[in-house]
Amino acid sequence: MDKETKNKNSNTENKKSLKNIEANDFDNIDAKKKRPNLREIRAENKKKRSESKIISNLGKDFVKEEKEDFIKKIKSEENIDEKKKLKEELKKIFKNGEAINSKGNIIDIKGLEKYYCNGINCEHILHNINLEIKEGEIVVILGASGSGKTTLLNIMSGLTNPTLGDVVVAGKNMLYLSEAGRTKFRADNLSFVFQSYNLIPSLTVVENIKVGENLRSKDVEKIEMSKILETLDLEKQAKKYPFQLSGGQNQRVSIGRALAKNPKLLFADEPTGALDEEKGREALQMLLDINEKYKTTLIMVTHNPNFANIADMVLYIKDGRVDRIKKNKTKLKASKIDWS
Ligand SMILES: Nc1ncnc2c1ncn2[C@@H]1O[C@H](COP(=O)(O)OP(=O)(O)O)[C@@H](O)[C@H]1O
Ligand SMILES: [Mg+2]
C-alpha cells in the first residue's frame, strides 16, 4: 500500500472510531443506548449550578461531573469489549479533548458563555455565541470597544477558557482541554499577531522570525526564511533589532514570525491598530496574501468597519452577543478599502 492510501485509510479509521464521541453532538453517543447522554447530564447539572450561582468554574465543574458519570457507566458495563471501547472514548473526550468539526469547518461554536469573575462577583461577557468558520476563510470580527471581541478571539485560540459551551477548534473542544492541552493545541495549530507586536527586543529580525519557525509542527511544510523576508520586504532589516525599526516594520516582523510557523489558523487582534494608514494597509495586505497563498484561516479583530470588505465573513459583536453575520461574495484588496 502506498503511503497516501495508507494515510487515507488510517484517517478513515480514526474518523470511524471517533464517530460516537463527537463532543458537539452528544446525542450520537446516546444513540448507542449503552452510552450516557452527556447533553442531558449537562443540562441537569447546569440547572443545579445556576441555582447555586456558582458560575466561575461552571464549565470545569460540568466536565468533571460528566466525566464522573462516564466513569460510573464504564464501571457498570459488564461486556468486556464495550468496557474497553468506553474507556477509549473516555480518554479521547476527557484527556485529549477530541471532537469533530462539521465538514469543511475549522471552528464550530455552540452555546458559548463567558463570565469573568473576581471573588463572588461575576460579569457576563459573552452570551450564547453560535458560530461556524470554514477552513481557509477570512473572518473579521467587528464591534465597539468593550463588546467582547478580544475575549471571543482568545477563547477560540485557547488563550482563555470558555465558561460554558462547546468550542471545537481544529478537532479539539476547548471546554475539555486542560491548561497543558490548550498549550499544545496552540503550538500545533495557530499563530497570533498582536497590536503591540510582542517581539523579543534582544533578538534580531531573523532571530525573532526563527522563534515562529521553531514552533512549527513537524508535519507542516517549512517556509524558507529568505522567502519570508522577501514577502515582507524585510531583507535589508534582517540583522537589525526591534528598536532600530519603525512600527510598520516591527509589525511585519511579527507577521513574519506568525508566518514562519505556517499555521492552520492565524489570529490577529487589531493588527493595524498602532500603524498609520499606509503601513496599516501594507500589514493588512500581507495577512490577506498569507491567507491566499497558504490557505491559512485568518481571524481578525478590529474596530474599523471598513475591514468588513476584505472578509469572507463578518461577525458583528454587540454587548457580548452576535448581532449579525454577513457573508461577502466578493472581497476587496487592502488598497481598495476606506481607512478613515
Ligand atoms: N481578564 C479580564 N478580567 C475581567 N474582565 C475582563 C477581562 N478581559 C476583558 N474583560 C471585560 O470584558 C469586556 C469585553 O472586553 P474585550 O473582550 O477586551 O472587548 P473588546 O476587545 O471588544 O474591546 C470588557 O467589559 C472588559 O472590561
Ligand atoms: Mg480588544
pLDDT in tens, 119-174: 667 788 999 999 999 999 999 999 999 999 999 999 999 999 999 899 999 999 99
Q: Tell whether 241 and 201 lie within a shared domain.
A: yes
- State which residues form the domain around 289: 105-336
Q: Is residue 115 part of a domain?
A: yes
Neighbours of 291 (CB within 10 A): 20
Q: Tell whether 271 and 166 lie within a shared domain.
A: yes
Which of 160, 165, 109, 166 has the alpha carbon at shortest distance from 139? 109
Q: Tell whether 122 and 238 lie within a shared domain.
A: yes
Q: Is 5 in the pocket of ligand 1 (CB under 6 A)?
A: no
Ligand lying closest to the C-alpha of residue 122: 1
Q: Is residue 100 part of a domain?
A: no
Q: Is 118 in the pocket of ligand 1 (CB under 6 A)?
A: no
Question: What is the per-residue pLDDT for 120?
Answer: 64
CB 177 within 8 A of CB 160: no
| Each residue's pLDDT tens digit, 68-91 | 999 999 999 999 999 999 999 999
The count of structural domains within the chain is 2
Spatial neighbors of 84 by CB under 8 A, at least 6 apart, are none
Please provide residue 160's backbone torsions phi and psi, each rounded to the nearest 5 degrees. -125, 145
| Cα distances (Å, whole numbers) of residue 128 to 164, 177, 323, 328 | 9, 20, 11, 24
Which of 143, 185, 141, 96 has the alpha carbon at shortest distance from 298? 141
CB 141 within 8 A of CB 152: yes
Residue from 150, 270, 299, 307 to probe ligand 1 pocket by mutation (most atoms less than 8 Å from CB): 150
Q: Is 254 in the pocket of ligand 1 (CB under 6 A)?
A: no
Q: Is 141 in the pocket of ligand 1 (CB under 6 A)?
A: no
Domain termination residue (choose one: 68, 95, 122):
95
CB 313 within 8 A of CB 327: yes
